[in-house]
Amino acid sequence: MKKPYLIAEIGINHNGDINIAKQLIKNAKDCGFDSVKFQKRTIDIVYDKKTLDTPRESPWGTTTKEQKLGLEFEKSEYDQIDKYCKEVDIEWFASAWDIESLKFLESYNLKYHKIASAMIVDHNFLNEVAKKNKHTFISTGMSTKGDIDNAVKIFKKYNCSFELMHCVSTYPMKIEDANLITINQLKKEYDCNIGYSGHENGVVVSLAATMLGITSLERHITLDRTMYGSDQAASLELTGMKSLCESIDKILLSIGKPSMGKIIDEEIPIANKLRAHIKI
């Protein structure tokens, strides 16, 4: 069993502060994650005017538009992210929520794309991502089998490398809703690599998913789960990040190789002692 590709989902947990983003990047690198991921939206495309004009109290103002703009990084911040990730030697990429954001991300030399669960039903968007021919992680939260079938069909049409990520889009997700057996179902149905994007509290479900042979694992991360933001409660703080990465390493070490009928050297003196009274 191979170690899954570990994605630290920063998303919008930076709360519009580049210094928070950099600290989260550093934490991810220090803990052993392979990459960090953000979310990119063109606010006036993703949200209609009626929604943006609705009242909403936030650190940035009193409307939904002010809140969304306050959470959104633009080119100056992404330039800093790109530079900092190169300095600490960790990959970064982002899930675009519209085609303009996809074009924006293409201005950086990123290895991966990500289809957020919300975007899997946007056929035009899926086609545009698949045309880029970069390996793409596709989350399956809130999706019917038909939605997944269509996404797979599009990415195969463009011969674009992809993997599906089993996902339940609740924040935080209840453990009984994880239905991790779906990972095996997806493997059988689509004959492709399957990852897991988790929104649960703690690390147990993610470790169980690892034991099912996932190829990628994505978890939201934060500096403090009590910070402002809808994703914070379903995120891992630094201690949780360390626990996840260290536990995965221990799990993979413990799996080892088949040894039925073999006595390891350390067992021999113990066997001699504990079986001394037995006449063979």
CA atoms within 13 A on the CB side of 68: 18
| Phi and psi at residue 137, to the nearest 5° | -90, 130
| Domain assignment present for 199 | yes
Question: Could you read off the pLDDT tens digit of each residue along the chain, which spans 280 residues?
Answer: 899 999 999 999 999 999 999 999 999 999 999 999 999 999 999 999 999 999 999 999 999 999 999 999 999 999 999 999 999 999 999 999 999 999 999 999 999 999 999 999 999 999 999 999 999 999 999 999 999 999 999 999 999 999 999 999 999 999 999 999 999 999 999 999 999 999 999 999 999 999 999 999 999 999 999 999 999 999 999 999 999 999 999 999 999 999 999 999 999 999 999 999 999 8
| Domain assignment present for 10 | yes
Distance CA 29, CA 22 (A): 11
Distance CA 177, CA 120 (A): 20
What is the DSSP-derived secondary structure letter of residue 276? Answer: T
Q: How many folded domains does the chain comprise?
A: 1
Domain CATH number, residue 259: 3.20.20.70
| Domain assignment present for 279 | no
| Domain assignment present for 151 | yes
Cβ atoms 203, 243 nearer than 8 A: yes
| Domain assignment present for 250 | yes
Distance CA 216, CA 169 (A): 17
Cβ atoms 10, 36 nearer than 8 A: yes
Distance CA 148, CA 140 (A): 7
Position 120 scores a pLDDT of 98
| Phi and psi at residue 276, to the nearest 5° | -60, -30
Query: What range defines the domain where residue 140 resides?
Result: 5-274
Cα 185 from chain centre? 20
Cβ atoms 214, 251 nearer than 8 A: no
| Domain assignment present for 280 | no
| Domain assignment present for 75 | yes
Position 280 scores a pLDDT of 81
| Domain assignment present for 179 | yes
Query: pTM to 2 decimals?
Result: 0.96
Strand locations in the chain (E): 5-11, 35-40, 55-58, 61-63, 91-96, 112-115, 135-139, 162-167, 194-198, 216-220
